[in-house]
Every structure is written in C-alpha cells, then in structure tokens.
Amino acid sequence: DVKVTQSSRYLVKRTGEKVFLECVQDMDHENMFWYRQDPGLGLRLIYFSYDVKMKEKGDIPEGYSVSREKKERFSLILESASTNQTSMYLCATCDEAGGVDTQYFGPGTRLTVL
Amino acid sequence: GESVGLHLPTLSVQEGDNSIINCAYSNSASDYFIWYKQESGKGPQFIIDIRSNMDKRQGQRVTVLLNKTVKHLSLQIAATQPGDSAVYFCAEKTTGTASKLTFGTGTRLQVTL
C-alpha cells in the first residue's frame, strides 16, 4: 500500500510567520503534489514536482513555495502566512513511470492562520 | 471532524439501498477518471478508476459508468452501508497534462439507518 504522511494534522500560526508543511512518501513515486481544499472550491493545485529539485506552478502558487531535495519528501512553504491561507492542505503522490495516473493522498494538514 | 464542503449537494440513502453519485466533466480530451471518497477530517481515498476506452468498470460493491457522449461519470455503490457516509468526488486527467488532475467539488453521501 502507498503511504503518504504529512508532518502535522493540525497547525495554528500567526500572520507573518513562516510555515513549513512536509510530506513524505514511501513508494518511490516520481510525482508529488500540494493542494489546498476549501469549502465549495474543491481541490486546487498549488505546486507539483516531477523529480528531485524539479517544481512547477499549479493553479494557485501565489504566496507559496516548495522544495524537493529528496525523492520521498516534498515541502510546502508559506513565506509569510496570511489569514486567507487558512485551509486544509493535502499532499499527493503519483507513479507516472508506472503508467498509472492515480494520485494517492496524505491525511491532510488543517492550517489556521490567526 | 472537519467538514470538507459546507455547501455540497447531499444525497441521502437508506442503509441497504443502492447509491448513485453523478459527476459531469467538461473536457472531451480527458482520458482518465477517478472517484475518491473523503471522510471527515481525512485525506481523499482512491475508490475506483476508469479509462476513456471503457464504458464501465466494477470493483467491490462499486461500479463506475462513463458516458463520453454527454461527458458524464457516475459512481454506483451497492447495498450502501453507514461506513459509506462521506464526500465523494470525481477527478479527470486530460491528455497531455502529465499526471495533473482536475477535481470536482463533490457530493456528500448520508446513509440513514
């Protein structure tokens, strides 16, 4: 079974703080994704990565950056957290090399910015 | 737990009945579709997938139907159980977009006893 873990289930930060969200997968998947999920809006793609040190912007990258130094780890960084970044953040992985496009998700991090 | 969708359409089904959840997609170039289940406070869980060269695929208690003519996808759950209560949403992958998926906003399934 694919296992995707996220560093925190719940996180509370203050406006202006730098926030790190970590995602780790144990299946050697090439592709990793960061989404945010908000009521009525579904999942929106922030950033994704096809390989180590590779990253591409998704649909809503503003206010976020990412880092992928190792294949199994993909970090989402909020340089200066704002209240409109309060959301559920979901990490996903996908083994494109295997010809299967299914994305497998972590449990999510509920971030509240005060 | 946390609600993932405060304004989602809701389907109420009695335990033991069959459930049908629908999804409309917009891109005729989409070639791969997935149904996910998301329980309150958890990440989405893969249920079943289907490629565009198929019309129907069956899993354990679940069936996905794809109608490319009207760009419609449905998820059928047989003998619905209380544990099936969750938000269900579809995702589509468009040809040429690598592994990027586009997600629907979801339907909440409530199973009544």
Cα gap A31→A65, rounded to integer Å: 16
Residue type, B91: A
The answer, for A102 touching chain B at a CB cutoff of 8 Å, is yes
- Given an 8 Å threshold on Cβ–Cβ distance, is B4 in contact with A105? no
Q: What share of chain A is helix, strand, coil (3-state, %, to 5)?
A: 5, 50, 45
* B contact residues 71-100, partner A, Cβ 8 Å cutoff: 89, 91, 93, 98-100
Size of interface A-B (CB pairs under 8 A): 60
Q: What is the dihedral of CA B110, A94, B101, B108, to 10 degrees?
A: 0
Q: Which of A41, A88, A105 sits opposite B2 (nearest CB)?
A: A88
Contact B57, B48 (CB under 8 A): yes
Mean pLDDT by runs of 10 across the 114 residues of chain A is 88 97 93 92 92 92 97 97 97 75 91 97
For A30, the closest chain B residue by CA position comes to B99
User: What three-state secondary structure class fits A22?
Assistant: strand
**Each residue's pLDDT tens digit in chain B (113 positions)?**
333 445 688 999 999 999 999 999 988 888 899 999 999 889 999 999 999 999 999 999 999 999 999 999 999 999 999 999 999 999 998 766 667 888 888 999 999 98
Q: Does A94 touch chain B (CB under 8 A)?
A: yes
Output the six-digit token pair for B20.
Answer: 């049908």
Which residues between 8 and 47 in chain B have a beta carbon less than 8 angstroms from any beta carbon of chain A? 8, 32, 34, 36, 41-46
CA distances from B110 to B4, B83, B86 (A): 14, 10, 7
